[in-house]
Amino acid sequence: MDIELYAALTDSIEYALDEADSAAKESKVRFSGTDVFRRVRERIDRTEK
């Protein structure tokens, strides 16, 4: 896979992670790993129906 194709596939993910990092720095709210994964599973379950 060439670098341009890799970048095209991953740039949007990197951008979203950068946004999440910025939001986390500005907020005092923190979630445990258990809470995060529970929320992710709930969203996945909703989209599978």
The pLDDT assigned to 43 comes to: 94
CA distance 24 to 45: 26
- For range 4-29, the mean pLDDT: 95
Domain spans of the chain, in order of start: 3-48
Instruction: Kindly indicate the confidence band of residue 16, based on its pLDDT and cuts at 50, 70 and 90.
Output: very high
The pLDDT assigned to 26 comes to: 97
The pLDDT assigned to 49 comes to: 67
- For range 8-21, the mean pLDDT: 96
Instruction: List all residues 6 or more positions away from 39 whose beta carbon is below 8 Å from its beta carbon.
Output: 31
State both tokens at 36.
């995060």
The pLDDT assigned to 35 comes to: 97
